[in-house]
Every structure is written in structure tokens, then in C-alpha cells.
């Protein structure tokens, strides 16, 4: 929320009257991290003050991340950026403050006035490139360059959210970003491997400039999966971008990150183009280091910037006549609110929950990649593995099709009945809810018996089959065993930098694969199979001495989440479904199904008096863990899905039309695994997740 879209709202009961030296005069918004207050400093300067929610402030880990955010923000300075004015990370209610200035976001300006042109376009390109260059020079990766995060302030463009995603060393600052980025603004390498570096910011910058010049998204619109496919496989549409800016934008949008210019190089070239547009004499030596001096860049941008200033009249009655009017800088409300990541990749999984009861997983017939060897982490002594036949190298063995499917469904009752059927079951910790203890990961060993070897291979195959649908094959899961703890341990390969939604997806996949295999063994061999617990860990690097626990559970509880015999979706699956698919059949079905939803809604609109749905309002993704299609939309309470009747129409359309699509695909595609559906909404700026309906498709 920024710019002209931000209006001062009345303060609410309980809001502070003063934060640090700033007098609070109203609210600008509320987000997942805290509340953003409109305030004035002692001299009458307008500021935006973010105060962290009390529940967040009580969390030591969150407070540490907030300190890191402030530290990153304070070290990023430069033209077209938002300076941090002040902060108190140790207060009972931690806060930070930035300056405020009116102005629309790029999205708002394009909707109202159309594309930028001539000098304003070149000033936009130069200013945003300069901002990224300054961010990268400070050792920070933006990770979410998009139109909503650029404000067109009176003095030029301003890039928001510059310090709250990740440091260039991969250190996470906030958990609200998940796979930080928005479909169409994410680089090909981020889609393929989760890698998000400076080159990814440059890719998004190229898309941003093309969008500013044409009003069109360079990779088009559609479902997240379809856009992801175009980003990774197709050339951008750059018609309408003026030469020679088009050449630079095309290079920034190269599929190979090594072929893109750096942010400083892009900035220098843009400044040279901007100087050529300038009609008054400025002391700039284009093509040289002088062209990128902040003062001179600012002069160039101001000379060619033709965006009218906007203001909120509510400010004028809120500071006394004796206060001096001051020149306003720019606002970072978008970064303060914390709700700036949109689309399918915009929402974070609920943190801090292990959710042991997962849905049942049958074997996925999706082809899996060839596994690669996983280095032995320090501190672990792994015994030789029997996972492959004698003389077979693990780096060339072909992964077999998973075979964990059984004739009868695995339920908590069937597993516990099997354990109760023998007088002395091998697994004895079915009632033990103790979390994994420190040292269990380091003490686990590779498979030593034929049964362990077969189970390890089966778990890896199941996990890789699910991971492959999301194009995530850079790390072969490692499966080890801790005999004394009766625990199967699933560990990611060494991956130093990865979005947290990918970690959560790996957790769910690892839990489901281990639970599926362990529960089957418990039911079929209760007298001899000792492993009923499982834990999933994340290895951050080859030299890491430990791998933090992502999740754990007990296979004796079963792997199915049902209420009164009905399967239910959850927000964890919603986040996984938001990760774009790399499977061609899923992309195809998603695209055709969303179009069918639109057609069905339009048909009902005339009959039931429904408001029309904008193109792209409803999005769809697949969760391979629970074999479910997730359908979601964003709603602020005043849109076409704000009422219960409208939501009921949507869920009915999804169940009838969506399930019809899923079952039709299953009839012609023996590898199709999806027969469940979920309908969800994201509410307001905070993106609060609500599951409206879920279930198994009739006949599925």
C-alpha cells in the first residue's frame, strides 16, 4: 500500500499517541508484521512508522529478524531509495520510521494514465536501475522487484522493500516473503532452482521497464504456472519499448543470468540514454563514472520527470500552523506493511507448526530425475549404503517408479490395529510425543539392512516424484535411520539459499514420503519393523555441523487428514500449490480449468446477478503432496467474492467444473494423480488465508 492509494485512516482505540519522537495522527495500514501509523516529526515532517505487533515482539526469533531488517535497511542508501529515519529494535513494541511522500505506484499510474514515454520513461529506467545498484552494493538482494514496489514520487521513482528480503549472503530477514517474488517478475533461475541473486533483480528490472513502456506484462498474463513456463521458455514481448532501451531490456531479460548486465552497468547505460533526452545543459559526462554520481543522476531524473505530484488533503489539517512545512522525501509504506508479495507466490506458510497428521499419499507415477550423490555432512559417520545393487554407482542409477501404493488405505486405525495384533511390536514409541532430540540427526546412519535399504529407496522415490512436479531436483533427499530413536530421518541436500516456502514444501514432501512408507511397514510387519517416527531436516551447506528440524511426526497416527471421513485442505497445501509447476500436464490443465471457471462464472452472472470476475482474479495450482487442486482469489471485502453467496457460487463452480476437468484428465492420462479440490481466499492487505471448501472429487 503506497502512494495515492494510501489515505490516512482514523486512529483506533489502543493506538499509541506517540512513537519515539513522532506524533501519531492516524493509520496508513496494517500488515502481517505490524501497524503502519501516519505521524509527524517535531518539525512537521510526515513520516510512516511501523510498530510491530505485540505477539511478534514477544518472539525472540522474530525480534532478531527485525534487528536484522533494520540493520540491512540502514546500510542501503542511494538515489531513488527510501532512507530509514529512525528505529528502536529493543523497545517493548519495536518500531521503525521512514519519510512519507504522495505518489501512485507504477501499477496505479499505468491504470490511470497509460505507459510512460520519452524522458519520463528513461528517468524511470535510470532511477530504478540506480536503486538496484545501490541495494546490491550494500550486499542486499531485493528479491521482489515489481510494479507495486515502485512509487512514482514527485521527484522521481522510488523503489520500496529494499531491506527486508534477504542479504546477499542468504541470511533470511523475514518469514512473510516465502518464495519472494510475483509471477512474471521472477527470474528463470529462481523458478528452476530457487536461486535469488542480483542477476534475478536485474531480470525483474527488465520486465519492470518493459511494463512501464508498454503497459503490457512482457510474459503475458494467466495462471502462475503458465506465466512461469513462458518466463523459462519463451521470448518476452518487447514491441513498443523504444530503441535503444529495448536492446538493454532484452539483455536484462536473458534466460542465462551470466548474459545479463549488472545493475551498475544497466544504470550507467540508462543514465547515458537519459542524458540524451535532457533538454537543458547539465554537467554530466555520459558514458563515464561521472554519469552515475548520485547528485547528477538526481538532476537528470528531475529534469525529465513529468509525473504530477499527488497529496492526501487529510494531512493538511493534522499539523499545527506553527509547524514548518518541509519538503517531503519518499515513503516505504509498501515495505512497512509487509503485504507486498502478490499472486501465487505471495503468501507464507503458517510458521511454528508441525501438523503431524498429513493426508494419504499414493505413489506418484511422475518420472523422477536421476539422483546425484549427497556429500556426507561433517559430524555424521554414515555407514556404507545398500541402496543400490553391487557395482552400481549412485550417480548413474535410474530411479525406479515408486511402489508404496497398497491395496487397502492406510489409516491410523489400521496401523494401530496391526501394532496391537502382536504381543511385542518392534515399534514402541507410538504414544511418545517427544520432539526430536539434539544429536539425533548427527547420529543417524544410512541403511544397514535389506529392509532399511528398500524403505530408503522407496522414500527417496516418493519424495523425488513429488519434487519433480515443481521443477525442484537440485538436491536428492538423503534418508537415514536412528535405531535407538526408532526414527527415519529425511534430509535435504546442501542448499544454502532457498525461499522458505520451498523449505516448507520439502518438509511436507519428506513427511509424507516417510510417513507413507513407515506406516505401510508398521501395518505389514509390526513384529519386526522398528521405525514409526520420522523427522525432516534442512542442510544449509556441506560444512554445516547440524541440520535444523523442519518437521516430525508419527506414522502410527496415519498419514491421512480427514474429518468425519471427508478430506480437508489446509494453508500448508495452499502455499505449496502456489509454487509454479514444471509439469506440462499440470500447466495445461491449470490453464484450461481457469478458463472454464471464468466461463462458468460468466454464465451464472446473468442468472444470479453476480459481479463479473476480472481476468486472472481466480488462480489455480497443484499440491503433489496431497494430490489436490487449489483454487484461490484475493478479496478485500468489497469485490465480487466478498459475500457468502458469491463464495458459495465459486465453490460450487470449482467442485463441478474443476472436478470434471480433473477426472477427465485422469481418464486419458494414467499418470494423473489429482482428485481433490480446495477453494480459498486471501483477505485484505494482510493476505489472511481462509479455506472455503475442500474435498475429494465425486468419483475420484
**Res 29: pLDDT:** 75
**Res 217: pLDDT:** 92
**Res 411: pLDDT:** 61
Q: What angle do CA 469, 473, 479 make, to 5 degrees?
A: 105
Question: Of 320, 296, 372, 347, which is closest to residue 573 (Cα–Cα)?
Answer: 347
What tens digit of pLDDT does each residue of 49-90 get? 989 888 788 888 888 878 887 887 777 877 788 778 889 999
**Chain-centroid distance, C-alpha 488:** 29
Distance, in Å, from the CA atom of 482 to the CA atom of 448, rounded to the nearest integer, reads 11
Contacts 24+ apart (CB under 8 A), 172-176: 172/65, 172/500, 173/65, 173/68, 173/69, 173/72, 174/33, 174/65, 174/69, 174/338, 175/65, 175/348, 175/351, 175/500, 176/31, 176/32, 176/33, 176/338, 176/339, 176/341, 176/348
What tens digit of pLDDT does each residue of 568-599 get? 899 899 999 998 888 889 999 999 999 999 89
Listed in sequence order, the residues at least 6 apart from 265 whose beta carbon sits closer than 8 Å to its beta carbon are: none
Question: Of 117, 99, 113, 176, which is closest to residue 144 (Cα–Cα)?
Answer: 176
Cell 503502519 belongs to residue: 36
State the catalytic residues. 144
Q: How many CB atoms lie within 10 A of CB 114?
A: 10
Question: Of 301, 341, 121, which is closest to residue 210 (Cα–Cα)?
Answer: 121
Which grid cell sits at 602?
460468466
Question: Of 401, 559, 543, 541, which is closest to residue 488 (Cα–Cα)?
Answer: 559
Distance, in Å, from the CA atom of 310 to the CA atom of 103, rounded to the nearest integer, reads 5
Q: What angle do CA 140, 144, 146 make, to 5 degrees?
A: 130
Distance, in Å, from the CA atom of 105 to the CA atom of 307, rounded to the nearest integer, reads 11
Q: What angle do CA 624, 625, 631 make, to 5 degrees?
A: 60
**Res 279: pLDDT:** 44
**Res 473: pLDDT:** 63
Written as one string, the DSSP assignment of 107-169 is HHHHHHH----HHHHHHHHHHHHHHHHHHHHTTEE----SGGGEEEETTEEEE---SSSEETT
**Res 36: pLDDT:** 85
- Phi first, then psi: give them for residue 550, nearest 5 degrees: -90, -35
Question: Is residue 79 reached through a cis peptide bond, with omega within 30 degrees of 0 on the bond before it?
Answer: no
Question: Of 653, 647, 656, 658, which is closest to residue 690 (Cα–Cα)?
Answer: 647
Q: How many CB atoms lie within 10 A of CB 379?
A: 14
- Phi first, then psi: give them for residue 440, nearest 5 degrees: -65, -40
Q: Are 546 and 451 contacting, i.e. CB atoms less than 8 angstroms apart?
A: no
Q: What angle do CA 626, 632, 633 make, to 5 degrees?
A: 170
E-strand stretches of 375-527: 478-482, 487-491
Task: Round to the nearest angstrom and report the end-to-end CA distance of the chain.
Answer: 42
Distance, in Å, from the CA atom of 143 to the CA atom of 167, rounded to the nearest integer, reads 10
Which grid cell sits at 98?
521512514
Q: Helix, strand or coil for residue 34?
A: strand
Which grid cell sits at 395?
550417480
Whole-model pTM over 0.85? no
**Res 151: pLDDT:** 86
Q: How many CB atoms lie within 10 A of CB 365?
A: 15
**Res 175: pLDDT:** 35
Domains and CATH numbers, the chain: 58-84+99-345 (1.10.510.10), 347-560 (no CATH), 572-696 (3.30.70)
What are the residue ranges in the chain where pLDDT is below 70? Answer: 1-7, 31-32, 101-102, 161-182, 277-300, 302-304, 308-412, 473-475, 496-499, 542-545, 563-564, 685-686, 700
Distance, in Å, from the CA atom of 469 to the CA atom of 48, rounded to the nearest integer, reads 42
Listed in sequence order, the residues at least 6 apart from 55 whose beta carbon sits closer than 8 Å to its beta carbon are: none
Measured in residues, the chain has a length of 700
Question: Of 141, 22, 137, which is closest to residue 86 (Cα–Cα)?
Answer: 22
**Chain-centroid distance, C-alpha 499:** 7
Identify the DSSP state of 489.
E
Q: Are 41 and 368 contacting, i.e. CB atoms less than 8 angstroms apart?
A: no
Amino acid at each position: 500500500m503506497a502512494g495515492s492509494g494510501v489515505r490516512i485512516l482514523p486512529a483506533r482505540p489502543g493506538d499509541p499517541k506517540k512513537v519515539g519522537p513522532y506524533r501519531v495522527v492516524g493509520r496508513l495500514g496494517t500488515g502481517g508484521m505490524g501497524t503502519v501509523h501516519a505521524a509527524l516529526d517535531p518539525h512537521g515532517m510526515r513520516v510512516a512508522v511501523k510498530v510491530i505487533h505485540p505477539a511478534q515482539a514477544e518472539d525472540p526469533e522474530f525480534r532478531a529478524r527485525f534487528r536484522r531488517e533494520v540493520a540491512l535497511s540502514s546500510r542501503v542508501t542511494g538515489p531513488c531509495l527510501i532512507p530509514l529515519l529512525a528505529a528502536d529494535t529493543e523497545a517493548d513494541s519495536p518500531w521503525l520510521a521512514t519519510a512519507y511522500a504522495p505518489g501512485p505506484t507504477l501499477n496505479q499510474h499505468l491504470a490511470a494514465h497509460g505507459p510512460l514515454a520519452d524522458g519520463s520513461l528513461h528517468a524511470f529506467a535510470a532511477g530504478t536501475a540506480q536503486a538496484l545498484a545501490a541495494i546490491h552494493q550494500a550486499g542486499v538482494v531485493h528479491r521482489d522487484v515489481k510494479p507495486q514496489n515502485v512509487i512514482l514520487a514527485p521527484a522521481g521513482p522510488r523503489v520500496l522493500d529494499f531491506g527486508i528480503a534477504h542479504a546477499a549472503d542468504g541470511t533470511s530477514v523475514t518469514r512473510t516473503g516465502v518464495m519472494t517474488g510475483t509471477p512474471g517478475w521472477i527470474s528463470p533461475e529462481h523458478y528452476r532452482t530457487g536461486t535469488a541473486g542480483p542477476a534475478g533483480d536485474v531480470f525483474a528490472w527488465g520486465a519492470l521497464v518493459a511494463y512501464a513502456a508498454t503497459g503490457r506484462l512482457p510474459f503475458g498474463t494467466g495462471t502462475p504456472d503458465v506465466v512461469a513456463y513462458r518466463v523459462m521458455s519463451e521470448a518476452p514481448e518487447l514491441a513498443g519499448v523504444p530503441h535503444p532501451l529495448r536492446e538493454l531490456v532484452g539483455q536484462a531479460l536473458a534466460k542465462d543470468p551470466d548474459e545479463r548486465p549488472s545493475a551498475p552497468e544497466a544504470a550507467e547505460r540508462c543514465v547515458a540514454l537519459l542524458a540524451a533526452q535532457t533538454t537543458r545543459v547539465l554537467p554530466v559526462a555520459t558514458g563515464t563514472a561521472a554519469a552515475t554520481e548520485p547528485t547528477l543522476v538526481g538532476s537528470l531524473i528531475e529534469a525529465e520527470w513529468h509525473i504530477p505530484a499527488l497529496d492526501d488533503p487529510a494531512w493538511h489539517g493534522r499539523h499545527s500552523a506553527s509547524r514548518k512545512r518541509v519538503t517531503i522525501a519518499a515513503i516505504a509504506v509498501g515495505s512497512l506493511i509487509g503485504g507486498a508479495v502478490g499472486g501465487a507466490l505471495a503468501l507464507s506458510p503458517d510458521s511454528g507448526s508441525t501438523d503431524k497428521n498429513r493426508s494419504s499419499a499414493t505413489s506418484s507415477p511422475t518420472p523422477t530425475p536421476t539422483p546425484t550423490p549427497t556429500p556426507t555432512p561433517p559430524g555424521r559417520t554414515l555407514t556404507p549404503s545398500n541402496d543400490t545393487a553391487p557395482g552400481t554407482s549412485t550417480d548413474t542409477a535410474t530411479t525406479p517408479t515408486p511402489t508404496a501404493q497398497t491395496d487397502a488405505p492406510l489409516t491410523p486405525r489400521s496401523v494401530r490395529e496391526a501394532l496391537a495384533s502382536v504381543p511385542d511390536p518392534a515399534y514402541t514409541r507410538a504414544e511418545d510425543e517427544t520432539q526430536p532430540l539434539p544429536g539425533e540427526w548427527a547420529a543417524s546412519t544410512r541403511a544397514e539392512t535389506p529392509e532399511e535399504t528398500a524403505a530408503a529407496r522407496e522414500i527417496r522415490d516418493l519424495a523425488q516424484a513429488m519434487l519433480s512436479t515443481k521443477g525442484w531436483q537440485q538436491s536428492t533427499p538423503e534418508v537415514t535411520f536412528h535405531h535407538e530413536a526408532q526414527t527415519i530421518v529425511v534430509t535435504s541436500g546442501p542448499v544454502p539459499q532457498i525461499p522458505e516456502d520451498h523449505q516448507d514444501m520439502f518438509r511436507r514432501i519428506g513427511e509424507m514420503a516417510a510417513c507413507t512408507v513407515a506406516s505401510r511397514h508398521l501395518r505389514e510387519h509390526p513384529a519386526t519393523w522398528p521405525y514409526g517416527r520420522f523427522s525432516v531436516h534442512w542442510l544449509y551447506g556441506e560444512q554445516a555441523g547440524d541440520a535444523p528440524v523442519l518437521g516430525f511426526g508419527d506414522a502410527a497416527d496415519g498419514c491421512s487428514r480427514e474429518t468425519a471421513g471427508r478430506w480437508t485442505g489446509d494453508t500448508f497445501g495452499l502455499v505449496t500449490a502456489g509454487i509454479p509447476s514444471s509439469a506440462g500436464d499440470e500447466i495445461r490443465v491449470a490453464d484450461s480449468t481457469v478458463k472454464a471457471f471464468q466461463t462458468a462464472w460468466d454464465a451464472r452472472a446473468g442468472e444470479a446477478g453476480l459481479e463479473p470476475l476480472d481476468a486472472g482474479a481466480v488462480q489455480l495450482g497443484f499440491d503433489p503432496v496431497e494430490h489436490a487442486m487449489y483454487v484461490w482469489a484475493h478479496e478485500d471485502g468489497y469485490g465480487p467474492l466478498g459475500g457468502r453467496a458469491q463464495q458459495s457460487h465459486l465453490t460450487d463452480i470449482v467442485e463441478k467444473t474443476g472436478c470434471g476437468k480433473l477426472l477427465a484428465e485422469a481418464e486419458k492420462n494414467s499418470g494423473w494423480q489429482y482428485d481433490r479440490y480446495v477453494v480459498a481466499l486471501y483477505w485484505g492487505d494482510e493476505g489472511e488465508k481462509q479455506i472455503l471448501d475442500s474435498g475429494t472429487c465425486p468419483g475420484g
